[in-house]
Amino acid sequence: MLSSLRDNLTFFRNFRKRFETTGSIIPSSQSLAKSMSRYLAKRGDAPVRVLEIGPGTGPVTRRIVTHLREGDVFDLVELNEEFAAVLQRKFEMEPTWQAVANLSTIHQIPLQEYKPAQGYDFIISGLPMANFPAEMVEELCDKYFEVINPNGVLSYFEYMFMRPIRKVVTAGSARTRITRIDDIMNGHIEQRRIARDNVFVNVPPAWVQHLKGTATETGADEA
């Protein structure tokens, strides 16, 4: 309980200072974390490589670590130095995290500069894309599909109806930005989506999009 309260206060403090990269007033819910990691939960017996992007204080990481096994590789890319310190402390002090600390590495670096030695079977991203410049969103999406394996699964969330609402209520350059982001994200969704989860037990409610590493010409079903 004390750890959770401390995480919430850390998250809120960073939300006030860095809204453009934090994106929410409180960490993700357990329901959202379960959805974000649901393809990892269905993994087979072979070792896997997992990348979490923008883990924050670790609400989704807490779920991810329960699905890791010896032989796996777990990399976390977190630019915020305060969040990175929180994550490191958990790998050192919390039993479930300690059990996989030898498999896990925190990289405090922009995703665009991250150069892994191999691709990933699962990528789980908490980046608030709607807050970024359109050019950055395009760079980040390019990076996602550069480092994911062809049969890998990318899972990320976005707040329900956020992009459509912003397109209606904004004007000028802000509307141009969100429209461009909408085009970028929908383009990948149309070619790569394998499922979408509706997560109502979260603040705000969210969609979790699950995309495959290889694009196709056909859309995918929602689940």
Number of structural domains (the chain) is: 1
Range of the domain at 202: 30-212
Full-model pTM: 0.85
Q: What is the mean pLDDT of residues 134-150?
A: 97
- Which helix (H) or strand (E) covers residue 33, if one does? helix 30-36
Residue 12 belongs to a domain:
no
Residue 96 belongs to a domain:
yes
Q: What is the pLDDT of residue 16?
A: 41
Residue 17 belongs to a domain:
no
pLDDT tens column, 52-73: 999 999 999 999 999 999 999 9
Residue 218 belongs to a domain:
no
Residue 107 belongs to a domain:
yes
The residue to which tokens 């994106």 are assigned: 23
CA atoms within 13 A on the CB side of 26: 11
pLDDT tens column, 195-222: 999 999 998 899 999 999 998 865 555 5
Is a pLDDT exceeding 80 seen at residue 11?
no
